[in-house]
A and B are shown apart, each in its own frame.
Chain A
Amino acid sequence: EMQLGESGGGLIQPGGSLRLSCAASEITVSSNYMSWVRQAPGKGLEWVAVIYSGGSTYYVDSVKGRFTISRDNSKNTVYLQMNSLRAEDTAIYYCTRGVGSTTAFDIWGHGTMVTVSS
């Protein structure tokens, strides 16, 4: 069964850094469009970043220059390095796979909570 599992969330002070991990099972991350999507408490979904199979990366404007998406093919894991964290980054962070011509997110992890607070 194809699965994604996030880890690395927690409570962090403003200005701090955190690295999220997304371990994949039965999905080869290097062959897929892998994204992070976040959801602030009680709010809607916000796409955060993508890493293409070819390695290109893109970000939502609000995290550009602060977040970095990457992957380790040997570990079949995707990462989200988050620096200079702000209160507005507080959210559940989901790892997800996009498929097809319309990039439908068909596989999602359970999410990991990041709380930025002093």
Chain B
Amino acid sequence: DIQMTQSPSSLSASVGDRVTITCRASQNIGNYLNWYQQKPGKAPKVLIYAASSLQSGVPSRFSGSGSGTDFTLTITSLQPEDFATYYCQQSYSSIRITFGQGTRLEIK
């Protein structure tokens, strides 16, 4: 199976900060990479698909980049509602989908 490794596992930031979360795949996955946000007690919500495409309705302060094995999710000008856990997901193998372990974004 393709392993997805996120870093950091957690980070603290302040409202207005710019943050970057990294996701590394254990093999080349092209652009078969999606990003999700999950808040406590809620289902995940897709933010970015195909590594860099913004899902409809998602604020433009969220952006994604990368291809191959290394990917990043960037949030510019953090808002209070952005404090949540973020997951990457690969679908290069759509019959063996895997997620990263998650990055918890906390208020400093």
Please list the residues of chain A having a beta carbon within 8 angstroms of any beta carbon in chain B.
33, 35, 44-47, 50, 58, 60-61, 94, 96, 98, 100-106, 108-111
Tell me whether B44 and A45 are in contact (CB under 8 A).
Answer: yes
Residues of B within 8 A of A (CB): 1, 31-34, 36, 38, 43-46, 49-51, 55, 87, 89, 91, 94-102
Judged by DSSP, the binding face of B is loop
Number of A-B pairs whose CB atoms are under 8 Å? 69
* Cβ distance B104 to chain A, nearest Cβ, rounded Å: 10
Contacts of A104 in B (CB 8 A): 34, 46, 49-50, 55, 89, 91
Contact of B87 among A45, A61, A106, A111 (CB under 8 A): A45
Whether B34 and A44, one on each chain, are in contact in the complex, defined by CB atoms closer than 8 angstroms, is no
Decide: A47 and B32 in contact? CB cutoff 8 A.
no
Contact B44 A103 (CB under 8 A): no
B44 touches A108 (CB 8 A): yes
Contacts of B50 in A (CB 8 A): 100-102, 104
Contact B49 A100 (CB under 8 A): yes
Jot down 25 A-B pairs with beta carbons below 8 A, ordered by A: A33-B94, A44-B87, A45-B44, A45-B87, A46-B99, A47-B98, A47-B99, A50-B94, A94-B43, A94-B44, A98-B91, A98-B94, A102-B32, A102-B33, A102-B49, A102-B50, A103-B91, A103-B97, A104-B46, A104-B49, A104-B91, A105-B89, A106-B46, A110-B43, A111-B43
